[in-house]
Amino acid sequence: MTSEFGRRNAELAEITVDIVTSDRKCAVHWEALPAFKERFMRVEAAATVYEVDNDIWACAGGTAAFDMLVELVKRHCGEPVAVNVGELAVAGRVRTGDERQRLLLAQSAMPVLEIAVSCGFVSASHFSRCFGEAHQIAPHEARSLPAGGFSACQRQNRPSVTPPSGSSRTLA
């Protein structure tokens, strides 16, 4: 008996073979493009984030898969839904992790870098920038407020900043 996982892998292998053995379009990371073109001369490969060729969707890997997903949502559900999906993914770490971030800042002696990494950020500077944009206060300032002071600070009519939506990504 073939498992669901096995069937899905077989389908993926079938799609991959279909791309590399026919005149289909696909996206390839720019660093791998020259070698890919040498090996698969019939494939129309491009150093783009993603390519759509009829029923075949291909991306260059990494975060390009998310960009491709947002486009798929846009085509099936409309642009407003796709914008919401993108905003949730981009701002979600600050919005949904807000309570955890505030608790760690207020109740722990963890360095801001450790808090940033534990909340899914890759650097303290990125965490500080996102946190500051969302709350109009830097993490070290929030930490220095008296217990419960950050919540009071948020109630002082500080507007919430939402990261811009609809930004497009291209590979350099």
Q: Cα–Cα distance between 158 and 172 in angstroms, integer?
A: 37
Domain range for residue 32? 4-62
Range of weakest confidence among 41-45, 79-83, 92-96: 92-96
Residues 58 and 82 in one domain: no
Residues 98 and 46 in one domain: no
Which of 41-45, 149-153, 154-158 has maximum average pLDDT?
41-45
Q: Which amino acid is at 142?
A: A
Report yes or no on 123 lying in a domain: yes
Q: Cα–Cα distance between 158 and 52 in angstroms, integer?
A: 43
3-state secondary structure at position 131:
helix
pLDDT at 51 over 80: yes
Range of weakest confidence among 9-18, 20-29, 45-54, 81-90: 9-18
Reference 62, options 28, 19, 37; nearest CA is 28
Q: Is the pTM of this model over 0.75?
A: no
pLDDT at 56 over 70: yes
Average pLDDT over every residue of 41-69: 87
